[in-house]
């Protein structure tokens, strides 16, 4: 699972985006800096959860769709609903909720497979 080309390319892309944002300060398109991390967050996180799930329940196990939906709901509620109320640096953006949904769909469609 963690050797899947989509997981590896997502991790590499997320790492490069963070490297650019934090140290290199390369100018990137606004949509990329705003939504790339949000799109990639759930596929990367759920892939790690799937790998742990497969260690416990066998290589043929997948995450139920309800778990993926619940992960999307919790992440969207936390980062877009609750955190902006307590943190001066967090900003609620409804498009982030759509980006999380796109990431959840990406995971469900192409990564949530038996090993």
**Residue 75: is its pLDDT beyond 90?**
yes
Q: How many helices (H) and strands (E) does the chain have?
A: 5, 0
The rounded distance, in Å, linking the Cα atoms of 91 and 83 is: 8
Q: What is the tally of structural domains in the chain?
A: 1
Six-digit token string for 52: 């742990």
**Residue 31: is its pLDDT beyond 90?**
no
pLDDT interval class at 12 (50, 70, 90)? very high
Per the CB < 8 A criterion, the answer to whether 90 and 84 are in contact is yes
Output the pLDDT for position 25: 87
Output the pLDDT for position 32: 86
Higher pLDDT, 67 or 27: 67
Output the pLDDT for position 50: 98
**Residue 28: is its pLDDT beyond 90?**
no
Q: Which pTM was predicted?
A: 0.94
Domain residues for the domain of 18 are 5-111
**Residue 1: is its pLDDT beyond 80?**
no
């Amino acid at each position: 699972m963690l050797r899947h080309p989509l997981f590896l390319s997502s991790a590499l892309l997320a790492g490069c985006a963070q490297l650019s944002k934090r140290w290199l300060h390369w100018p990137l398109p606004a949509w990329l800096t705003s939504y790339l991390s949000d799109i990639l967050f759930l596929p990367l996180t759920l892939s790690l959860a799937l790998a742990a799930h497969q260690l416990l329940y066998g290589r043929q196990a997948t995450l139920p769709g309800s778990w993926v939906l619940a992960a999307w709901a919790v992440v969207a509620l936390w980062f877009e609903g609750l955190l902006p109320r307590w943190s001066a640096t967090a900003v609620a953006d409804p498009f982030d909720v759509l980006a999380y949904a796109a990431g959840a769909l990406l995971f469900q469609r192409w990564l949530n497979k038996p090993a």
